[in-house]
Amino acid sequence: MSRPAATVLPLRLAALALVAALPAAAALKWDSLEAAVQVRAEETAANTSFKFVNAGDKPITITGIHPGCGCTIPSLAKNTYAPGERGELRILFEPRNREGLYRTSITVATDDAATSTLQFVADIEPLVSFDTRFVFWKPGEARTPKHMRLTFAEGHPASIAELTSSDTRFAVSFTPVGESGREFDIEVVPPAEVINYTVITIRALIGDAKAERVFNVVARTLPAASAGQQPPKS
Amino acid sequence: MDSLRRSWLGILGIASLLAAAACAFDPRARTLLRDPPAPDEILLAAATVHPGPLLWIDARSATEFANGHIPESIPLTLDDWDSQIVELLARWQPGMRVIVYCDDRACGSSRSVAEKLRREYQFDDVLILHGGWSAWKKSQPIPQPR
Amino acid sequence: MKTLDWLLRLALAGVFICAAILKIANPAAFHAAILTYRALPESLVPVLALWLPWVELCTGIALLWSNHRRAALWIVAALNIVFLAALAQAAWRGLDVVCGCFGRPASVRGAGYLEYLARDLAFLLVAAWLLRREPSSRQAERARND
């Protein structure tokens, strides 16, 4: 059944408008806009890459790469790609203090005024958990020793090589706890009269490779409560 | 009983009309309805009337912190946690409320920082500034040109 | 006795009107305070934060208007029962709440609860007393028709 003539012209105009309104297809075509990495507990970095091809008919130059955080470090072999040429955006991911699922995005700008947003997901296995990383003694509180418990993740045998206190007047020591060989108790003995804080550095050796990892915990004897910060006037 | 019922219906009715008018004309009321803060967040207007001492934490990048930050705030990011946490722990006192902010509503770093403070350092009064740095900037008076 | 009634009514109205104005001036602070009671689903809290102050304002004004005094006193009593219930459940659950009562929030924890419970109980008793002293509605009709 043929359409009445009155509707054909508007339909054609609509189709034309639709085609004209479509954004110019980005010349850079990515194999995938998402990448996922698994970071095992003893690893301090992971690598992945986003592969792409110049699907246009002109050379294209990547003018900017904007990661959402300082933990994804991008690198490119070169900036300009000929038509049909393939390339790879390498990403070095350093979890630093992150654990669990971490999502971020990376925006790539090209000289054809198009931008691509790449999604990056990391699953970071936590290496160690602390019951607390900060102990303190309030003014007037008895200066008895306090403890912090640290537990390494299953499957990651570890030992504490060294325990140091930035303020040596705080005495620190550790003892293994339980049978698993993964739990340690850290005892902090504060000095009698001193008001200060100390940064306790734990140097641990992880796994068969004895990879060295360093953790900080803090202990502090508090001064008498001051007025503290007042909220800034807005 | 009739006049009593009429009276309290009248009081509640007029109150409701006034409340509706406030929502229509007061921008703060409109934003509260449209974009209420989550239970672990706080609006700037509520933060500044907090009766006790406050500690502001800036969870943005070092460049952004250098370009401007809430007065007396301490930078703290996951990337530089180990070096930055010490300053926070050296300034914090029990009973202080900690408020973490980053760019605006959408950024997640303030939430990551807040969760880490609660989980690993047992801070019990950590809130996130709803609207972040953008909300703070909007609240500042525009400096007049001399 | 009549002067005492009049003074009590004026005091009650004053408290409610002042409290209402301070809450209307800073809806964000009142919203944050209601959240600390954890007694309502989150989505209802902004609605309550924007509606309740107007109810308090209209009730305070109605207390000074003879025709609507009885209704206003009933509302005052009902409001204070609600406030007492909210404080009591917070005390029982061991919550640290913020009394958003007068705009400038005050933290309520431990023994502080007793002060606020006592205050709201006092308001409730004053309202009950004034209600008893009010001529009943039938007497009021008769007085008006005479």
Do A and B touch, 3+ Cβ pairs within 8 Å? The answer is yes
Check CB contact under 8 Å for C106 and B51: yes
pLDDT at A226: 58
Chain B contact for A69 (CB, 8 A cutoff): yes
Q: In terms of Cα–Cα distance, which of C50, C49, C64, C51 is closest to C17?
A: C64
Chain B contact for A147 (CB, 8 A cutoff): no
pLDDT of C116 above 70: yes
The string of pLDDT tens digits covering residues A205-218 is 988 888 888 999 99
The string of pLDDT tens digits covering residues A54-104 is 988 899 999 989 887 888 999 999 999 999 999 999 999 998 888 888 888
Check CB contact under 8 Å for B55 and A133: no
| Cross-chain CB nearest to B32 (options C49, C67, C104) | C49
For B36-139, CATH number out of 3.50.50.60, 3.90.25.10, 3.40.250.10, 3.20.20.80 equals 3.40.250.10
- Domain map (residue ranges) of chain B: 2-33, 36-139
Query: Mind telling me how many Å the CA of B45 is from chain A's nearest CA?
Result: 9
pLDDT of B19 above 90: yes
Mean pLDDT of chain A: 85
The string of pLDDT tens digits covering residues A3-21 is 455 555 666 665 555 554 4
Enter the pTM of the model: 0.72
Do B and C touch, 3+ Cβ pairs within 8 Å? The answer is yes
pLDDT of C144 above 90: no
Separation of alpha carbons C27 and C47, rounded Å: 11
pLDDT > 70 fraction of chain B, expressed in percent and rounded:
97
Ordered domains of chain A (ranges, CATH): 26-124 (2.60.40.10), 128-221 (2.60.40.10)
pLDDT of C104 above 60: no
pLDDT of C108 above 80: no
pLDDT of B51 above 90: no
- What residues of chain B have any CB closer than 8 angstroms to a CB in chain A? 44-45, 47-50, 52-56, 61, 70-72, 77-79, 81-82, 85-86, 89-90, 93-96, 109, 112, 116, 120-122, 136, 139-140
In the three-class reduction of DSSP (H, G, I as helix; E, B as strand; rest coil), residue C142 is classed as helix
Q: How many CB pairs under 8 A join B and C?
A: 104
pLDDT of A33 above 50: yes
Interval A155-172 mean pLDDT = 92
Residues in A closer than 8 angstroms to B121, CB to CB, are 132-134
pLDDT at A158: 87
pLDDT at C114: 85
Label residue B133 by pLDDT band (50, 70, 90).
very high
A231 compared with C12, residue with greater pLDDT = C12
- Name the DSSP letter for residue A114: -
Check CB contact under 8 Å for C24 and B46: no
Check CB contact under 8 Å for B4 and C104: no
Label residue A234 by pLDDT band (50, 70, 90).
very low
3-class SS letters over chain B: CHHHHHHHHHHHHHHHHHHHHHHHHCHHHHHHHHCCCCCCEECHHHHCCCCCCEEEEECCCHHHHHHCCCCCCEECCCCCHHHHHHHHHHHCCCCCEEEEECCCCCCCHHHHHHHHHHHHHCCCCEEEECCHHHHHHHHCCCCCCC
pLDDT at A227: 47
The answer to whether the beta carbons of residues C90 and C34 sit under 8 Å apart is no
pLDDT of A1 above 70: no
Check CB contact under 8 Å for B53 and A218: no
pLDDT of C53 above 90: yes
Q: By CA distance, what is B87's nearest residue in A?
A: A197
pLDDT at A233: 43
pLDDT at C5: 86
